[in-house]
């Protein structure tokens, strides 16, 4: 082989190695597990899922019963077990509490909070919200005789998802999950964000979780964060921005 051909061969090999390394770096995580919040189900991620799959990630959207934090954590852990690792674990709203506990699984490489609660060890949602003025939207929460909470139709359109179309708001209302009140006072045992790379999306027009609360959590966790001018359902109003954040966490 001539020296010129040898040089070409070496250069081609080096280029292939660089390309391979770049691909591996871009897809360090193999899977994404998506955890919905209260008053929702797995369909809340339907705009994000195709974008993540197009990027080469396998996606599992958890369907939590919302009856207890312990049960939802176990359901999420089963999804993590079934996913190909490493896993990016994503939580919206109450789902942030779930991933804070379930994220301690060794297969989880990074956490992403989307307009979500991120309690510390020993904290419950009620502990976090007690530090901030009560949101006006709470007047639209309806509790039944069994202790389950839902949001009124007016609450969905005015506070929960005001930046969605009327048709989308009706869909959110139709698939709304009922959250048991016991979940609000159940503390996290160990906060995974203290040990894992953490990313957060702050919904600056959120009328469910105060934006200041979300910003304070970023500071406390030292998370990499973005701000999105959205309502509480950021993954529905700005799916591209949320997908980009998840892909960043996956790398």
Q: Is 4 exposed, middle or buried (0-12, 13-18, 19+ CB in 10 A)?
A: exposed
Which string of DSSP letters, residue by residue, matches 22-88?
HHHHHT---EEEEE--TT--GGGGTTTHHHHHHTT-EEEE-----S-HHHHHHHHHHHHHHSPSSEE
- Which residues are within 8 A (CB) of 165 and not within 5 positions of it... i.e. 6 or more apart? none
Which single residue is written with the structure tokens 């109450």? 94
* Per-residue pLDDT tens digits for 40-88: 999 999 999 999 999 999 999 999 999 999 999 999 999 999 999 999 9
pLDDT in tens, 170-208: 999 999 999 999 999 999 999 999 999 999 999 999 999
- The predicted model scores a pTM of 0.88
Share of the chain above pLDDT 70, in %: 89
Give the C-alpha separation, 247 to 251, whole Å: 6
**In the annotation, is 3 catalytic?**
no
- Would you state the structure tokens that stand for residue 139, as one six-digit string? 């007047």
pLDDT at 151 over 60: yes
* Across 92-121, average pLDDT: 98
> Among the options 44, 93, 137, 225, which is catalytic?
93
- pLDDT above 90 (res 10): no
DSSP per-residue codes, 73-119: HHHHHHHHHHSPSSEEEEEETTHHHHHHHHTTSTTEEEEEEES---P
Is residue 226 helix, strand or coil?
strand
């Amino acid at each position: 082989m001539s020296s010129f051909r040898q040089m070409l061969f070496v250069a081609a090999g080096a280029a292939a190695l660089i390309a391979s390394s770049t691909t591996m770096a871009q897809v360090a995580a193999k899977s994404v597990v998506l955890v919905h919040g209260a008053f929702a189900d797995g369909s809340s991620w339907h705009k994000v899922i195709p974008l993540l799959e197009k990027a080469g990630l396998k996606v599992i959207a958890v369907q939590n019963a919302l009856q207890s934090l312990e049960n939802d954590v176990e359901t999420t852990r089963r999804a993590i077990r079934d996913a190909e690792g490493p896993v990016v674990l994503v939580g919206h709203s109450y789902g942030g509490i779930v991933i804070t506990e379930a994220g301690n699984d060794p297969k989880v490489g990074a956490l992403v909070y989307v307009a979500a609660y991120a309690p510390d060890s020993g904290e419950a949602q009620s502990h976090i919200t007690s530090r901030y003025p009560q949101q006006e939207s709470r007047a639209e929460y309806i509790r039944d005789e069994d202790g389950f909470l839902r949001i009124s139709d007016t609450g969905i359109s005015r506070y929960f998802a005001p930046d969605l179309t009327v048709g989308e708001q009706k869909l959110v209302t139709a698939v709304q999950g009922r959250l048991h009140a016991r979940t609000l006072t159940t503390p996290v045992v160990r906060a995974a964000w203290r040990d894992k790379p953490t990313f957060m999306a702050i919904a600056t027009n959120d009328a469910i979780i105060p934006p200041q609360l979300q910003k304070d959590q970023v500071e406390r966790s030292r998370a990499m964060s973005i701000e999105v001018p959205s309502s509480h359902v950021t993954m529905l109003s700005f799916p591209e921005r949320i997908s980009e954040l998840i892909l960043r966490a996956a790398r």
